[in-house]
Chain A
Amino acid sequence: MTPVRTRGISFAGVRVTVESTGEVGDALVDLLFRDMSDLEPERPACQHFVVRDLGAGLGVQVSSDGARFHEGADIGDAALKLQEAVTMALAAKCTSGLVLHAAAAARSGRALILPGRSGSGKTTLSAYLLARGFTYLSDEMVFLESGTLLVEGLPRPLNVKAHGLHLVANPAVASAAWASLSGPAATLMQLPVDMAGAAGSAASQTRPALAALVFPRFQPDAPATCIPLTPAQAGLRLMSALLNARNLEGHGFPAVTALAREVPAYELQFGDVREAVPLVMALP
């Protein structure tokens, strides 16, 4: 009988479980969730995912609560779909604070949150900040518990789109120690264990305090600029990055505006991430 492994994933006070079977299924789950903690193993899972190895080069089947969303040999596609489904499940169930569509990185116990839509440059900027000594928190989703400025990131593998791959998958940023898996829409790049260890601890007990909000805005050929935003400008942008609004009092509007008043915010426009990084490093 094929052994079954079950991994719990906790984030933002929400827990899901992922069950895997077979060598391919286990490897896929390890790649996606190695750095995610199960801080509350006693908490019931809000959703259960299953990755079943179909064997003999047939790939995997990925399903959840009876709904099948991948079956076949394209492991990269399976990984991307599972990653997205787990991410959305965690965001959708969170009621204890703000879940933002944002990357985050930390240095000396101080975190930067980089909210933005897909294509805004979150992942590329995160990778370059890691190369400059920042600790990885997430390239996709962060959580701020109500009433605190402590940042919890979802430390998933970097999800690098095709247009940014040449920038991230080069020796100046990602060494040969990084694992990667390509799918049709993106390449997943897993940090080496020595770099990812910090992400795990940040997700558990030692969450860094939020120092600034930096809204990246990739604009081809634009010179790099970093412009302070007013609280109203920051609040407007934060509302569009809020993923769990419907779970929160007033749709999170009071909490978002309070955050925008409290924390300095900047818009970082850039056409070349290498020009943008020094501007981020120079922030107070």
Chain B
Amino acid sequence: MTSASIPRPVPGFALQQMDDDVLLYHPGLTRTVHLNDTAALIWKLCDGLRSVDDIASLLGEAYPEAASEMNVDVMTALARLVRDGVVECE
């Protein structure tokens, strides 16, 4: 995955918002995934159009105090979402 990669959500997951966190469940895969508030936010920004850079920029604008680390943080979070099977990336 590079900063130009475009992550998109794996289709078929049902979502339940649980306070700030999110639970995702895929009936076909019988897999449940728990996303904390940060991971849930990044997952929601993965629309198949925005690049990793776009997502980091959006979050950097929303959280300027963390902007300098945002690229690394977003990349790390996305790598985990890919590993959990809820996001795929070309």
Contact = CB atoms under 8 A, between A and B. Distances in A.
Given A251-B25, A253-B25, A231 B18 contact: yes
Contact of B22 (A232, A239, A253): A232
Interface string A16-36: 000000000000000000000
Contacts of A260: 18
Consensus secondary structure, chain A interface? helix
A105 B26 CA distance: 32
Given A232-B21, A232-B23, A235-B23, A253 B30 contact: no
B16 interface: yes
A233 interface: yes
B18 A240 contact: no
Contacts of A239: 23, 25, 32
Query: Which has the most chain B C-beta neighbours within 10 Å: A230, A232, A233, A257?
Result: A232
Given A240-B32, A257-B16, A250 B27 contact: yes
A245 interface: yes
A278 interface: no
Contact of A232 (B14, B19, B27, B30): B19
A239 B34 CA distance: 11
B18 A251 contact: no
Interface in A245-266: 245, 250-251, 253-254, 257, 260-261
Interface residues of A, number: 16
Interface string B1-28: 0000000000000101011011101010
A135 B31 CA distance: 34
Interface in A216-243: 230-233, 235-236, 239-240
A257 B27 contact: no
B34 A233 contact: yes
Contact of A253 (B16, B34, B36): B16
B14 A250 contact: yes
Query: Which has the most chain A C-beta neighbours within 10 Å: B16, B27, B33, B36?
Result: B16
Nearest to B21: A232
B89 to A, nearest CB: 24
Contacts of A254: 14, 16
Query: Which has the most chain B C-beta neighbours within 10 Å: A231, A240, A254?
Result: A231
Contacts of A230: 18-19, 21
Contact of B18 (A235, A245, A250): A235
B21 A251 contact: no
A251 B27 contact: yes
Interface in A176-190: none
Interface of B: 14, 16, 18-19, 21-23, 25, 27, 30, 32-34, 36
- Closest 5 interchain pairs by CB? A232-B21, A232-B18, A257-B16, A239-B32, A253-B25
27 contacts: A230-B18, A231-B18, A231-B19, A231-B21, A232-B19, A232-B21, A232-B22, A232-B34, A233-B21, A235-B18, A235-B23, A235-B32, A235-B34, A236-B23, A236-B34, A239-B23, A239-B25, A240-B32, A250-B14, A250-B25, A251-B25, A251-B27, A251-B30, A253-B23, A253-B25, A260-B18, A261-B18
